[in-house]
Chains A and B, each alone.
Chain A
């Protein structure tokens, strides 16, 4: 699946993980896909949940086995 946008948030912590993701998603159209690289631990535990609360759909989740995960998020996929 091809993503329309890619964002790496492994260099920031909460709440900047969410803020950066939110701002990038705002500029996408509904149905477009964001590929997100995030850290294990707090980010992977909380961010997908927050994105779902905002109406976005997590399409795929992959463990990169280097302490990071990659998820594909469909903007507005749950609305």
Chain B
């Protein structure tokens, strides 16, 4: 394995000092590959902390352009980026932050037709779900279960957030807990939804933490536990969730063996 350069020893010194990281752990981080789906409220902080930590390859998936209303929480993008593709703006921020990181971009929305190719492109080690809708979340879960890839799910709304980590063969999946997308009329419209910008920071950096712990093989992941965060009461809850033997994708008799696209609830308002 390559030797760490003096500049790298200095850049990563505060984490190399940690007994759980060291030079060997830093080399693991530098050779790791993390795919971040969505470069929004969750994906922005996740991408920036993973880049700062030296994750060698970061994949960014997003088809959207930067909107002025994104900047309140999507901190990887700047005011001058409004109108630009999010993946390009994200790439620039990461490159400026840490030249050790190679950014790979996918200018598309994940679908049943392309998600396997995207995850398989670099054979990513860990996937971060930073999407904002249920069809994408279930698709990412199903793809990761079928491809046996670990991933971090998260969602944020208003003053609340939640996250859970899936590791194949070791933990329940997102579908074990939530079964299937909620009915359309149960999904808040954009007008009702709102979110405090910091929610993405808190939950997105937890997702990045899980990715780093998985890469390093240290600590205990949020496998089998759903972590919920209520910012108004400043309450974190770690809720034990069991494996569902009747889970449609990872249960004893799975009925989902192929990926499907769920219909996206329509929204009249600008994203």
Contacts and interface: CB of A to CB of B under 8 A. Distances in A.
Contacts of A65: none
Interface stretch (B18-26, B155-163, B236-244): B18-26
Contacts, number: 27
Nearest to B14: A15
A16 B19 contact: no
- Chain A at the B interface: SS class: helix
Interface string B186-207: 0000000000000000000000
A49 interface: no
A18 B13 CA distance: 9
Nearest to A50: B17
A23 interface: yes
A27 B22 CA distance: 11
Interface in B1-54: 4, 9-10, 13-14, 16-17, 19, 22-24
Contacts of A23: 4, 9, 16, 22-23
Interface in B243-267: none
Contacts of B19: 54
Contacts of B13: 15-16, 19
Given A23-B4, A54-B19, A16 B24 contact: no
Contacts of A18: 17
Nearest to A26: B23
A28 B24 CA distance: 12
A27 B17 CA distance: 15
Interface in A1-33: 15-16, 18-20, 22-23, 26-27
B9 A19 contact: yes
A16 B9 contact: yes
Contacts of B23: 22-23, 26-27
Contacts of B24: 26
A54 B24 CA distance: 15
A57 B16 CA distance: 21
A54 to B, nearest CB: 7
A22 B4 contact: no
Contacts of A26: 22-24
B28 to A, nearest CB: 12
Given A15-B13, A15-B17, 5 more contacts: A16-B13, A19-B10, A22-B22, A26-B24, A27-B23
A-B complex: 5 closest residue pairs judged by Cβ atoms:
A23-B23, A19-B13, A26-B23, A19-B16, A19-B9
